[in-house]
Chain A
Amino acid sequence: MRRVWLVASREFLAAVANRGFVIGLLLMPAIFAGIVALMPRLMESPGEQIRGEVRVIDPTGQIFDGLRSALTTEAITRRRQESTRRVLENAPEAVRAVAGDSAGTAMDRALGTAPALTVVERPADADLQHEKSWLTEARPADAPRRLLVVVHPNAVVPKDGSTQYGTYDIYVPENTDERLETTFYDGFRETALSARVLAQKMDRAQVEAVMRIPRATSTTVALNAERQTNVRFNRTLPFVFAGLLVFGIMIGGQTLLTQTIEEKSSRVIEVLLSAVSPLELMAGKILGQMAVSLLVLALYILLGLVLLSSFAMLGLLDPLLIVYLIVFFLVGYLVFASVFAAVGAAVNEMREAQSLMTPIMLALMAPWLFAAPIGRDPNAAFSVAMSLIPPVNTFAMMVRLASTTPPPFWQVALSVAIGLVSAVAAMWFAAKVFKVGLLLHGKPPTLGTLIKWARIA
């Protein structure tokens, strides 16, 4: 046991006390936080105001005037403010609380100052080819951007016997800022909508009122409290937890694989084997990397909790979930780490590990495929089955636990038990392969070879 401990602590220190680890995992959240802090400042530098001339050919005669007033700088600004307000209305309460008014200004800044456009009408019978050549002419410095728009004749009133409205064709010179087209579209939409409603002899405000049905926010009724359901939070949670689980397993598993291959290829392994048994070595390595994974996981959980509490959403998270995360991490890690260790011991170099790793990687990718269906329907037959089939059972059960309708406790316990049994089986298999594989250098083994080794060892 003392030797297992020695191997484990060396593994842990070798993994943690190097520059790559510190940069990769500890600084990542710091960099992330830095970006979050810096972004608004970067956005504060206002974008250059877009100036330009828009020529419009309007055969309907009902669009141009409206278009000109909809494309004034003031009108563009007003529309932007309106849409910002709508976005914020749909945002979760916490985001609104944090962002407040500054969100609106931040968005303005991101979009830059509203463009100053000169809108010019061209005769309805103007020659299109001739007008297009205007786009390629050398431009004066004060009106550098140009658009040429041809409104469809049926943009306001459909052709007889049709309900299909037309829109417009737009011609731009090379290197046109895409935002300019969007700005134009918004203005055209506004104008055409009003013109069409007017042509139908209806009231625009009334039409909009008829069309508006805001989505209701549900209230979750629990035994002793009611709270506003946070749909987005609930939908994200299973992904986050499945992600943390896979992430934790990958960190330890990958290092285990590369470290074992390195020990083998640098021939340090036989020196070690004179002092420790293969089983002690494997156990030590698995435990050491488990500690590394736990450290990283703890760090990320902590970061997540800090974020949640800063958004005043801490209450939405059931603390028991974190306990479950650790439990399922330990079970899942033991299963996968054993296999990683076995593969590391069997191959001579990283390249040979690829083919053996494919099934393992697929199993690790599985949560991304089934997190959504299981999260939506946590107690369906599919969900229950997945949460009992190793090696994906830990992921599936984690997703179910993080969903809105957690599974009955006996299923959780059964899943853990199945996980433990498969961990023991995986470790048994790995120990055999480890013992045989460590000293063999030769042609890369296949899965069949590994199974053969497990049988003879």
Chain B
Amino acid sequence: MDSALMLRDVRKSFGSTQAVDGMTLTVPRGKLYGVIGPNGAGKTTCIRMIMSILFPDSGELSVLGRRSALEAKDRIGYLPEERGVYRKMKVGAFLIYMAQLKGLSAEDAAARVPAQLENMALPGTENKRCEDLSKGMLQRVQFIAAIMHQPDLLILDEPFSGQDPVSVRLLRERIEQEHRRGATVLLSTHVMANAEEMCQHVVMIHQGRKVLDESMSGLRRQFDARTIHFEPLDPDADPSPLRAVPGVERLDRHEGSFTVTLSDGIDPAGAIGRLAVAVAPARVELARLRLEDVFIRIVAEGAASSAAARALRADLQAPGAQGSFI
């Protein structure tokens, strides 16, 4: 089966700034891909080139098997980072107009609007003017505009920006719903926590270059097998048996819990069993992979100083990001 999206050595510069520097990427059909990276990494430029809103200086790309998105516009749903509505237009009319531009008939579009609004927790807003809706509500309207025509490829540029936690959850459910329907989804975000919970595959971009292109399961294997969270049943229990377990390299104590770092080459599944035997656990689990940590590690391997790494981390930490264990 051909890929939904293919970029080969795509480059784009604005004046002296190299925004995208030799991007090569293949997104198979039916996948949920996340493009992550700090602000200014080149995510939006990449997406705009995929959408044929900008054109690459060099390189090749194909979208849904076509040479350009222009030839497949009606099968693509796009939520740009800079999104707006006609303020004076009514919500229903705006959605119908957008769907018509995407090839639906007016009747067909009108028939879909109420259910879609209901589905995005916006019931009864059809006849309200766009300017009367809150910013968060408008973002949901714009999301509907992107999926009304049931696209084969859904491209979402920073879909969660400016959303409250409830909307983020709703939006995530709807994106996953679209994915289950069969759409290939490509979403960009600088909030890595969102990507790590949703995506099957992540692509990291830094300074216009791809620095990682890996499935989430592969990433978990590769980066995270060595850290275990351990919470003893009895908070006052003596932790020293844990340190004695074979394969434990380090033990860090926190408020009521421990972080266990395993030596290289140790099977975490076996280690968890042995730890549970040593001290009765309330909770023992492999530490969740934090893309943010992976990203910092990859970038820090380059020339980045610790100060640069700290700056990057600050940029990547969006609302809801927690501390890390590396």
Interface of A toward B, CB cutoff 8 Å: 3, 6-7, 10, 14, 18, 262-263, 266-277, 439
Contact = CB atoms under 8 A, between A and B. Distances in A.
Contact of B85 (A266, A276, A277): A266
Nearest to A264: B84
Contacts of B102: 275
B76 interface: yes
B132 to A, nearest CB: 15
Contacts of B53: 270, 273-274, 439
A439 B54 CA distance: 9
Contact of B97 (A10, A262, A277): A10
A267 B70 contact: no
Given A274-B53, A274-B78, A277-B70, A269 B84 contact: yes
B97 A271 contact: no
Interface stretch (B86-94, B202-210, B220-228, B252-260): B86-94
Given A6-B97, A271-B83, 12 more contacts: A7-B101, A14-B86, A263-B86, A266-B85, A267-B82, A268-B83, A268-B84, A269-B84, A273-B51, A274-B80, A275-B73, A439-B54
A34 B145 CA distance: 47
Interface residues of B, number: 25
Contacts of B100: 6
B184 interface: no
Contacts, number: 58
A268 B101 contact: no
B188 interface: no
Q: Is the interface of B mostly helix, strand, loop or mixed?
A: loop
B98 interface: yes
Contact of A266 (B51, B70, B73, B86): B86
B152 to A, nearest CB: 14
Contacts of B51: 273-274
Interface of B: 48, 51, 53-54, 70, 73, 76, 78, 80-89, 97-98, 100-102, 142, 145
Nearest to A274: B78
A83 to B, nearest CB: 55
B101 A272 contact: yes
Contacts of B145: 271
B82 A270 contact: yes
A271 B97 CA distance: 12
Nearest to B85: A268
B80 A270 contact: yes
Nearest to B79: A271
